[in-house]
Amino acid sequence: MNSTSQTLDGSVATTAAVNRPCQTDAALQVWLVDDDDRFRTLVADALSRGHGIDCARQFDSPDALLSELASKVGPDVILLDVQMGDQNGLDAVRPIKSLTRSTRVLMFTTCYDSQSRERALDEGASDYLLKTEPLQKLIESIHRPAESPNLLRRRRKPVGVYPPGNNQIKRPSAKTGGASPRALVRALQRLRALWN
């Protein structure tokens, strides 16, 4: 039996009916990283409505997230956009995992790019999701237990035509004064050691 549902970007998608994940008393803690304020608020509100998810923390950049992780315990799941202005969420996956190994990182992007997906999985991400997919698929991915990278690679990749996008991986440059996420993580870890 198929059903239609609205996606986060407002379009309608047809999906096969699936069982809802089992709910537990404790909501899963989800942090969302996206540079679009309006979209971030929309997603956080949608996820926090009775799905066993608490999406109370939101960040507009990977740097803001890494700063918070340096002094706080990480959530169960981080939804991380890929392209955020001059920053790339892919560069933040490994630093995030070094600060909070038990947190699952789900890449959450507008355009599918096979090289970005492979890199995300290699760096430690648990999944690579499109913002145009139905909300129910996002909720199921958040509730899904961690899988090995090999299983993720074998899982069927999205099918369809995706708009041409900014598929190139951008790294901070010396011209813009951007520090690499790894350098930032090392500095934050040194600060954390001093506080303890």
Domain ranges of the chain: 2-195
Topology of domain 2-195, CATH: Rossmann fold (3.40.50)
Calpha distance 43→56 (Å, rounded):
11
Task: Provide the token pair at 139.
Answer: 């909720």
31 pLDDT exceeds 80? yes
Window from 48-57, 90-99, 101-110, 148-157 with minimum mean pLDDT: 148-157
The residue-averaged pLDDT of 41-46 equals 92
Confidence of residue 75 (pLDDT cuts 50, 70, 90): very high
**Mean pLDDT, rounded, of the chain:** 76
60 pLDDT exceeds 50? yes
Calpha distance 109→130 (Å, rounded):
5
Calpha distance 133→181 (Å, rounded):
29
Confidence of residue 163 (pLDDT cuts 50, 70, 90): very low
124: region left, alpha or beta (phi > 0 left; psi from -120 to 50 alpha): left
The residue-averaged pLDDT of 41-50 equals 90
Q: 54 vs 157, which has greater pLDDT?
A: 54
21 pLDDT exceeds 90? no
Q: 192 vs 107, which has greater pLDDT?
A: 107
Task: Provide the token pair at 174.
Answer: 């010396």
CB 104 within 8 A of CB 126: yes
> Which residues lie below 8 Å from residue 159, measured CB to CB, with a gap of 6+?
none
Question: What pLDDT sits at residue 196?
Answer: 52
Question: What pLDDT sits at residue 176?
Answer: 40
- Contacts by 185-188 with C-beta closer than 8 Å and gap 24+? 185/66, 185/70, 185/95, 185/98, 185/99, 188/66, 188/67, 188/69, 188/70, 188/99
pLDDT digits (tens, 9 = 90+) for 101-128: 999 999 999 888 889 999 999 999 999 9
DSSP bridge pairs for 16: 2
